[in-house]
Amino acid sequence: MQIIAALAGVAAKHLMFNEALFTPSDHARLGLSQWWSEFIATFGLILVIKLSVHHNAKAVPFTVAAYVTAAYWFTASTSFANPAVTLSRSLTPTFAGIRPDGIVGFIMAQMFGAFVAAKFSTWIISNPNK
């Protein structure tokens, strides 16, 4: 469902600006620094979500919005942090895009970042005095 929403968002944006609905990006985002950035972006996002839910669930929308905004600026990858976002950004020729050949590395970094963050946040929550 999230992928369908992301694709619909790309199409809606392109229609607003009179562009082709889907155009592959030519923005190169390859290599260790980009993948590490995407790991950090996803790790941080999952950590923020899990810790916010644990401490104050009502704060989740605000903490997520603040983190996503910040991560856009502090990561070299501009913080996709989501496979659906990665796919949709591969279909736009804008600065925010990613060439299709960069998708696999980004999604692998996102999956690994999410896994490590889930384990780390569980450890933090279950060991509050460490």
Q: For 34-58, what is each residue's pLDDT tens digit?
A: 999 999 999 999 999 999 999 999 9
Six-digit token pair at 101?
Answer: 């050949």
Reported confidence tier of residue 127, pLDDT bands at 50, 70, 90? confident
What is the C-alpha separation between 11 and 100, in angstroms, rounded?
A: 17
Residues ≥6 apart with Cβ < 8 Å to 86: 80, 98, 103, 106, 107, 110
Residues ≥6 apart with Cβ < 8 Å to 106: 29, 34, 35, 38, 77, 80, 83, 86, 98
Reported confidence tier of residue 62, pLDDT bands at 50, 70, 90? very high
∠ Cα 98 74 87 (to 5°): 25
With tokens 């923020």, the residue in question is 48
pTM above 0.85, yes or no: yes
What is the C-alpha separation between 26 and 93, in angstroms, rounded?
A: 6
Residues ≥6 apart with Cβ < 8 Å to 14: 20, 21, 22, 23, 92
